[in-house]
Structure 1
Amino acid sequence: MAEVTAAEAMALLAGVPVGRLGFHHRGLPAIRPVNHLVEDGQILIRTHFDSRLSAAVAELLPQGVVVAYEADDLDFEARAGWSVVAVGTAQPVTAPDRLAHFEGRPDTWVDQPMNKLIAIQPEIVTGFRIEPAR
């Protein structure tokens, strides 16, 4: 394994459409697969108003809620790939101009209206490349 810089880790994260979001729900850890996009140093995800994630983020407004976001790209046959973890604060996006800018993005795989946009401001970003043994 070789550690990558935070900037390279964010670039790797931007290159895949899906990751896993870790957050607290009723005092316990919860993990959900979600689609994301990376823009202006933030990780943006869509959810719906009645989701557990929306409830968890809304509980701690205005300071936001601490979350962990992880994504990877692994080749099991080659035993190679990478993994990135970003830890930071999640808050709903409420500014009309930002909501308009991200209208319909990121695209989601869930077949229901995803009417809430959440921005994660990463504070700690770590990543590793896994290379096959020589």
Structure 2
Amino acid sequence: MQQQVTRSAPTSRELSRDEALRLLGNVTFGRIVFISRAMPALRFVAHVMDGDALLIGLPYEAEIAALLQRVSVVVYEADELDAAARTGWSVVLTGRAGLVADPQELEQALARLQAWPGERIDVVARLRPELVTGFAAGAD
């Protein structure tokens, strides 16, 4: 007699702030969302965690650099998904971001960041998350 294996249905759960930031530290790319010409704009970028802050590496664009020079509110999202298994997680940070201006700090950040293929990292922003949300989906 053949025994039938039943799999539990995938579930979704909210992540704690600490868990969300830890997961964010396990990936190196995400998306920064900012307002451009009164509309949301999105860029794929590299990141690394720096304590509870996020360092974001960007190619130079005058509009983004000008926005970040005055410390602006941005949204950042990163995830890790397995579409076939229907598992993964997504984390969204909202907070104030500004350019890293100190030359030594900038040099250290540039050494840690890994650019998207075919891209350069010219500027680095530090995002201090005020709101951290996230969820994980998968079988329990």
Please report the TM-score for the alignment, with normalisation by the length of structure 1. 0.87
CA distance in 2, matches of 1:52, 1:104: 24
Deviations 1:68-112 (A, max 9, x none): 001111111111111100000110001223113223331101535
Q: Equivalent residues in 2 for 1:40-59 (5 A)?
A: 40-58=51-69
Query: Is contact 2:57-2:124 (8 Å) kept?
Result: yes
Q: Give the structure with higher Rg (CA).
A: 2
Pairing 1:65–2:76 present:
no
Consecutive unaligned residues of structure 1, counting only runs of 5 or more, are none
Pairing 1:8–2:24 present:
no
Q: Secondary structure at the match of 1:102?
A: helix
For the aligned residue pairs, the C-alpha RMSD in angstroms reads 1.7
Identity rate, percent: 36
Deviation for aligned residue 1:56: 2.4
Query: Is contact 1:44-1:118 (8 Å) kept?
Result: yes
Pairing 1:27–2:34 present:
no
Q: Equivalent residues in 2 for 1:81-92 (5 A)?
A: 81-92=88-99
Consecutive unaligned residues of structure 2, counting only runs of 5 or more, are 1-11
Once the two structures are overlaid, the 10-residue window that deviates more, 40-49 or 19-28, is 40-49
CA distance in 2, matches of 1:32, 1:103: 18
Pairing 1:131–2:138 present:
yes
Pairing 1:38–2:49 present:
yes
CA distance in 1, matches of 2:120, 2:27: 22
Deviation for aligned residue 1:54: 1.8
Deviation for aligned residue 1:43: 1.0
Query: Is contact 1:25-1:56 (8 Å) kept?
Result: no
Q: Secondary structure at the match of 2:61?
A: coil
Q: Secondary structure at the match of 2:110?
A: coil
Deviation for aligned residue 1:28: 1.2
How many residues of Structure 1 are paired with residues of Structure 2 in the alignment? 129
Query: Is contact 2:59-2:120 (8 Å) kept?
Result: yes
CA distance in 2, matches of 1:88, 1:131: 28
Query: Is contact 1:89-1:121 (8 Å) kept?
Result: yes
